[in-house]
Structures are given as structure tokens and as C-alpha cells.
């Protein structure tokens, strides 16, 4: 009995030791090459986690915000939500014979989406209204889920949710492991994002900030529903991002990641706060494995924010050099 007890206790300690060693041996951010970007992230997290240091940040204040398009997943040849809207126009066309003759729908149905939307600034809103409004929030969510399950990207042939960035998934997890609450702060539609944010990023719906339409409370067949209206509520882009952060989160983040000038004010607002802050820009430099673009691209336009990165001390991630992989392993 005594010997058995001793074995149990010794076995228990040995197991604990093995577990401790395993955990500390799992180095963070495995898809990030050792270099200045990875080092600045790890140094920042170490600094704000060190309870003895004046740079220490208590857990509830560890708020990290991430842009989505071009920061957490790809955005070429068009924002994926926009591809969804065009697919929806095609799917809904049989119920809308008038679209064959009406701008911008007629051009979209002829395969001239970009021309149709460039011709008229109101065209995009019309497409959004036709495909994102006039239905319940539940119906919209189901529609996005259905599309995400079936649609494939024209170049990679992957599901769109298969085009999230593996290194950014690791970054989200690393921050959460260190007591951060992670949020999406995107120019994309809040309800579109919520259809996959939990499954793809581990970010729950209540931690998603995005652009939105107005909504109305109503009853249908005696049951309460929320109807999405064809009227803009909020544009969460550019100077709208700090506003969205304040309205939805109510405190200033200490970490922000973006990839375009639409993230400039979010990076500014985050890093202008007192104490240690990290601003991070994902720079699309990898024409081989993803896309390479910045100052001359309409989608993901990165110019002013890249200029400011140096003076502001923001970390610029060079996708080609800093990341060993882009996407998670493909599912078979």
C-alpha cells in the first residue's frame, strides 16, 4: 500500500513535469519566421504581462482589434462579401425579371460587375440593399452560411473560409492565451462577419464590429423578428473605426492590426493611448503565394498608413518574408 501510494505520487509529479515542459516547449507563432515582426509581437506581450513592471496591463484591459479583409483573410480579386452579393444577384435574378433592364443589375448579370459599380456611386448600395435587406436577420445568416459552404474562390478553388491566414490564426490564439479579448473591427458587414467569425477565428458575435444596415423589430406569423432595412446605419471604415470601437467596445484597444489606409485611424487611435501599444500592418508582398499590392491597388489601398508606420513605430509584416505559410492546410 505504501509503495503503491508512493508510486502514484511520484507518477503524478512526473506527469506534471512532462506537461509543464511540453507547454513551455510549444513556441508561439510557429508559422512566423524569426524576425523583427515576430519579435516585436512577443516582446510586446511579454512587457504587458509582466506583473512587476510599470508596463503591466490588467487582463480586462487587454483589448486587441483586427481588421478582417486583407488582415485575417484575403480580399482579392474583390472583397469576398462583394462576391457574395454578386452571386446573390445571379441567384435571385429569376425572381426579378426587371433586373435584365435595370442598372446596375443588368450589367452584373452580363458579367460586368466592376464596370457597373464604378459607373454609379449609388450602385453598390443598391446591390447591398437588394441582397442584404428586406429579410430577417436569421434568413440573412442562413444565406451567408449556405454560400460559405458552397462557393469557391476563382483562383485558389478553396472555400473562402479556407483563405484565412494561418499566421494570423496563431496570433489571435497567442493573444487570447495571454489574456487578450480579441475583436474584429471591419469595414465589412457586421452580420456577414458574424456568420463565420466564431468558427473561423474563435471570435464570438458579440466581439465583432462592422458596418451595418438599420433594423426593425416586427412580428411575422405572430413571432418576433428583426428585419434588415435597405438603409445604412453605420460605416465602420477609416475615421469610422475609432467611432465603432468606442460605440461597441467602449474602451481603447492596446493592440490593433490592419492592412490598408482604411485602418489608419484605428491604428492611430490605438497607439496614441498611454503605456505600451502595438500597431501592426500586414503588407501584401507575396505575389507567388497570395497577392502583392499596396499603393496602387483600389482594394486594400495602403499608402498613408505605410508612410506613417515608421514615424509611429508600427510593426510592418512582410507576408513573403515573415510567414512560412499563408493558408491553413487544405481540407480533403
Q: Which positions touch a second copy (CB under 8 A)?
A: 2-3, 5-6, 8-9, 60, 63, 137, 181, 183, 190-191, 194, 198, 204-208, 212, 215-217, 223-224, 226, 233, 239-240, 242-243, 246-251, 265, 268-269, 272
144 vs 302: CA distance, rounded Å: 28
| CA–centroid distance for 322 within its chain | 19
30 vs 91: CA distance, rounded Å: 41
Smallest gap from Cβ 183 to a second copy, in A, equals 8
Closer residue to a second copy (CB): 162 or 253: 253
Q: Residues 306, 283: contact at Cβ < 8 Å?
A: yes
Smallest gap from Cβ 99 to a second copy, in A, equals 29
25 vs 60: CA distance, rounded Å: 27
Smallest gap from Cβ 167 to a second copy, in A, equals 25
Grid cell for residue 1: 500500500
Closer residue to a second copy (CB): 249 or 299: 249
Smallest gap from Cβ 275 to a second copy, in A, equals 15
Closer residue to a second copy (CB): 162 or 187: 187
Closer residue to a second copy (CB): 61 or 87: 61
Closer residue to a second copy (CB): 54 or 250: 250
- DSSP class of residue 174 equals H
Give the CA distances from residue 324 to residues 38, 137, 318, in Å, rounded to whole numbers and listed in that order.
12, 39, 11
Smallest gap from Cβ 65 to a second copy, in A, equals 11
3-class DSSP assignment, residue 50: coil
Amino acid at each position: 500500500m505504501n509503495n503503491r501510494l508512493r508510486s502514484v505520487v511520484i507518477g503524478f509529479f512526473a506527469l506534471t513535469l512532462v506537461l509543464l515542459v511540453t507547454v513551455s516547449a510549444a513556441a508561439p507563432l510557429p508559422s512566423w519566421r524569426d524576425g523583427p515582426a515576430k519579435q516585436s509581437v512577443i516582446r510586446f506581450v511579454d512587457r504587458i504581462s509582466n506583473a512587476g513592471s510599470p508596463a503591466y496591463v490588467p487582463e480586462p484591459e487587454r483589448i486587441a482589434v483586427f481588421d478582417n479583409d486583407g488582415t485575417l483573410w484575403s480580399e482579392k480579386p474583390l472583397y469576398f462579401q462583394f462576391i457574395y452579393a454578386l452571386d446573390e444577384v445571379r441567384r435571385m435574378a429569376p425572381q426579378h425579371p426587371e433586373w435584365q433592364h435595370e442598372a446596375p443589375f443588368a450589367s452584373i448579370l452580363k458579367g460586368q460587375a466592376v464596370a457597373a459599380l464604378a459607373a454609379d456611386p449609388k450602385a453598390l448600395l443598391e446591390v447591398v440593399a437588394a441582397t442584404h435587406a428586406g429579410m430577417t436577420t436569421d434568413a440573412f445568416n442562413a444565406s451567408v452560411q449556405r454560400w460559405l459552404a458552397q462557393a469557391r474562390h476563382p483562383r485558389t478553388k478553396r472555400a473562402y473560409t479556407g483563405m484565412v491566414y494561418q499566421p494570423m490564426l496563431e496570433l489571435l490564439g497567442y493573444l487570447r492565451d495571454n489574456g487578450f479579448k480579441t475583436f474584429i473591427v471591419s469595414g465589412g458587414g457586421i452580420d456577414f462577419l458574424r456568420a463565420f467569425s466564431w468558427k473561423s477565428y474563435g471570435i464570438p458575435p458579440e466581439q465583432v464590429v462592422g458596418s451595418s444596415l438599420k433594423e426593425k423589430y416586427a412580428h411575422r406569423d405572430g413571432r418576433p423578428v428583426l428585419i434588415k432595412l435597405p438603409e445604412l446605419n453605420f460605416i465602420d471604415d477609416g475615421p469610422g473605426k475609432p467611432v465603432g470601437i468606442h460605440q461597441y467596445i467602449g474602451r481603447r484597444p492596446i493592440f490593433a492590426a490592419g492592412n490598408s489606409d482604411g485602418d489608419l485611424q484605428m491604428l492611430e487611435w490605438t497607439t496614441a493611448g498611454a503605456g505600451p501599444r502595438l500597431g501592426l500592418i500586414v503588407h501584401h508582398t507575396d505575389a507567388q503565394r497570395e497577392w502583392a499590392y499596396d499603393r496602387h491597388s483600389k482594394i486594400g489601398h495602403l499608402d498613408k498608413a505605410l508612410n506613417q508606420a515608421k514615424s509611429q513605430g508600427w510593426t510592418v509584416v512582410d507576408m513573403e518574408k515573415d510567414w512560412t505559410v499563408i493558408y491553413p492546410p487544405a481540407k480533403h
